[in-house]
Amino acid sequence: MMDRFAHLDWPFFDPPHAALSRGVETWALANLEDAHGEDADAVCRRLVKELGQAGYLEYCVNDNPDVRSIALIREVLAYHAGLADFSFTMQGLGSGPIMLAGTDRQKKDYLPRAAAGEAIAAFALSEPDAGSDVQAITTTAKRKGSDWELDGVKTWISNGGIADFYVTFARADEGISAFIVDAREVDATERIDIVAPHPMATVKLRGARGALLGEAGQGFKLAMRNLDIFRTTVAAAALGFARRALAEALARAKERRMFGQRLADLQMTQAKLADMATAVEAGALLTYRAAWLRDVRKARVTREAAMAKMHATEAAQEVIDDAVQILGGLGVTRGHAVERLYREVRALRIYEGATEVQKLIIARELLK
Ligand SMILES: Cc1cc2nc3c(=O)[nH]c(=O)nc-3n(C[C@H](O)[C@H](O)[C@H](O)COP(=O)(O)OP(=O)(O)OC[C@H]3O[C@@H](n4cnc5c(N)ncnc54)[C@H](O)[C@@H]3O)c2cc1C
């Protein structure tokens, strides 16, 4: 038997973490059964509200974030519904720069509404010619009185089309800078459809008015500080997906009969299950070590977070692929949990720094 919550006894956690994780599990069982609908926009709008009402968004819209709590919540939400994990984390990613660098006024205007699930947040950094190479962004920002005017195109913007505000990065005379841009100022009508659909758009800025966030020229550092908090939690989402795939594979292997015995009695199945379980545990250790180092030791976790993100997302992809194999035809049947996981996990190896980028980060830290 696998106890999905056995890791809550690890020394990385305090008693409130265990209570939080089990509380989210109870909430997820009661609320996420129909969180996989065709209309991802409507599902996400509803989920943001419900996660706000349940009080969970306060963990990621928080000026003193506890990475272990965010990671535990993501793990449980991802286990049950990818869109719930997405809605939860985007509120944090889109509000993070305001928490880190906003004025008191900006914090008051945006954060309480984001934490309550009343305003949807987006984080607009990537551009058609600036993804992995973020410093290549060409969107411009020019001072216009007390405001700024932004021109350019942002793409792959999660929550694009449903967001109320976009924390947007653009190039000013002083260098890359961050701005808060109201949804009314942008054209997010060009939607992007991906393998596991969530709200996403290309966002066009044509003389869009924006309010400077933090100091001009400090936007790149701000984006990286924000991603530093959330990178470890991408690993936690991958962990949730992988745990679900393992649970589905175990259940099916124990019930499916072939050649006069259970699929689980065949040694090739057992070898697969052993590899899957070990990959999941290794991912959990790396993830919660990185979170603990940051929360408790207040350490910089550039290397540890990159290792966690790289390993957990790559391992989750393999675990889910093995689960599909164990389920046979059922595994590729539209609507089955492992078919959904197979599509949902793929983007995690690309966004917030592709695996290759994580390797460069780890190597750079090693060679210092
Ligand atoms: C589902 C999803 C959600 C996203 N949400 C957001 C969002 O909300 N906001 C936002 O700003 N962006 C978002 N992105 C964009 C994401 O950050 C970029 O897709 C990512 O940075 C990669 O950029 P790219 O797609 O332009 O690929 P490219 O930069 O063209 O990279 C392509 C591939 O090149 C490889 N590569 C990269 N660097 C190296 C290297 N040094 N050596 C060798 N190979 C390398 C990697 O395999 C990489 O996947 C999202 C993307 C996805 C898929």
Assign domain 221-367 to its CATH superfamily: Butyryl-CoA Dehydrogenase, subunit A, domain 3 (1.20.140.10)
Residue 207 has pLDDT above 90, yes or no: yes
**Nearest residue by C-alpha to atom 40 in ligand 1:** 356
Ligand 1, residue 169: give the atom nearest the CA: 11
CA 257 to mean position of chain CA atoms: 38
- pLDDT (tens digit per residue) in 47-78: 999 999 999 999 999 989 999 999 999 999 99
Q: Residue 37 C-alpha to ligand 1 middle, in angstroms?
A: 27
Q: Using CB atoms within 10 A of its CB, is residue 39 exposed (0-12), middle (13-18) or buried (19+)?
A: exposed
Q: What's the mean pLDDT in 171-198?
A: 97
Q: 180: closest CA among 266, 276, 272, 100?
A: 100
Specify the pLDDT at position 1. 65
- pLDDT on residue 201: 98
Helices (H), the chain: 15-31, 40-53, 57-60, 67-80, 82-101, 104-116, 219-255, 267-295, 302-327, 337-344, 355-367
The topology under which CATH files domain 6-116 is Butyryl-Coa Dehydrogenase, subunit A; domain 1 (1.10.540)
How much is the pTM?
0.97
Burial class (CB in 10 A: 0-12, 13-18, 19+), 64: exposed
Neighbouring C-beta atoms of residue 192, cutoff 10 Å:
16
Domain at 121-217: CATH code: 2.40.110.10
pLDDT tens profile 219-275: 999 999 999 899 999 999 999 999 999 999 999 999 999 999 999 999 999 999 999
Give the residue extent of every domain in the chain.
6-116, 121-217, 221-367
3-state secondary structure of 295: helix
Confidence band (pLDDT; 50, 70, 90) for 38? confident
Cα–Cα distance for residue pair 315/325, rounded to 1 Å:
15
Instruction: Give me the residue label for tokens 């954060």.
Output: 111
Ligand 1 near 360 CB (within 6 A)? yes
Positions marked active-site: 352
Q: Are 200 and 192 contacting, i.e. CB atoms less than 8 angstroms apart? A: yes
